[in-house]
Chains A and B, each alone.
Chain A
Amino acid sequence: MRRETLKRLLDARAARRALVLVTRLDGGGEEIISPGSIDKGHPQISEITACLRTGRGKIVETGAGELFLQPFLPAPRLMIVGATHIAQVLVRLAREVAIEPFVIDPRTAFATTERFGDAKLIPKWPGEALGELGLDARCALVCLAHVPDIDDEALAAALRSDCFYLGALGSVRSHERRLERLKARGFGEEECRAVHAPIGLDIGSVTPSEIALSIIAEVVAALRAGAGADGGR
């Protein structure tokens, strides 16, 4: 691989741009394809498009030998709204599964480095914070503040985005009240089904750590459902 190719892959990763690397397995020649400027007449167009969708690498046989198509997708991110005890654990679990966590909470007493170490903390209201960070198809968002003003603002932003997972902490009853508030903000019943609530896989979680574990498991399930069983590396 040329050093220039490696640099372009790393630059794209840092800028959250998707790319497909095409490598000739007989001699190592390579080509980088960006989805924005893809030639519609490219002989492997359908395989390249599929790669970008599933996140899975694939070998393609051609008359001139085998090609390996490898998608490089932006790193998944987890926006954690509410700098709570569950969030403290969730930050660690997210990093462990290579999902980059961000903690958003306008309450500066909660969003402290003392509680979150070197995690990325944004002590702002979710609307402003998410506007700055951006929510793309490789982002998940969880609402843990349990304060309607904070959570609802984040949910409204996420419902208008392409994020791959959206969850909110709270019982069935508190979720019913949340849905009423979202309706008042103009969201339809169908749209609101995107919100996973009660949040997390049902593993009978009791403690904040167990709840964080159930949440990260549900986020990974959503990520892999979209990217395929072994995608996104």
Chain B
Amino acid sequence: MSAALQTAQAWLDEGREVVLATVVETWGSSPVPAGGHLVIDDRGDFAGSVSGGCVEAEVIARAQDIIASGRPELLEFGVADETAWNAGLSCGGRIRVFARKLE
């Protein structure tokens, strides 16, 4: 866990705006357990992971809105989502991700 959080701290120290996304719940098969972190900055750079790579792009996109609004969001992804074709979990799992700005 510490690698992504250390990256977040380093980015903050450089004056970047940073969102911390954390897996809070998983169902079925998912490669990153609850507690896994993805950090994203205002340029779209990211470190860590919340899945095997299937939903990262969506979380990175949503992070830009969170940086702008300052409001945390609880995101849910699964094969049944309407975004399944873009951001579904091909492995058949479902995850919830809590994303908030570091401020």
Contact = CB atoms under 8 A, between A and B. Distances in A.
Interface of A: 1-3, 6-7, 9-10, 13, 23, 25, 27-28, 56-59, 68, 70-72, 75, 230-231, 233
Contacts of B2: 10, 13, 75
Nearest to B101: A1
Contacts of A23: 22, 24, 98
B103 A70 contact: no
Contacts of A57: 23-24, 33-35
Nearest to A228: B33
A232 to B, nearest CB: 9
A72 B103 contact: no
B83 interface: no
Contact of A70 (B22, B72, B74, B102): B22
Interface residues of B, number: 23
Contacts of B67: none
Contacts of A59: 24-25, 34
B100 A1 contact: yes
A189 to B, nearest CB: 38
Contact of B34 (A3, A7, A56): A56
Nearest to B24: A68
A28 B101 CA distance: 10
Contact of B33 (A1, A27, A233): A233
A8 B72 CA distance: 20
A217 to B, nearest CB: 19
A2 B102 CA distance: 6
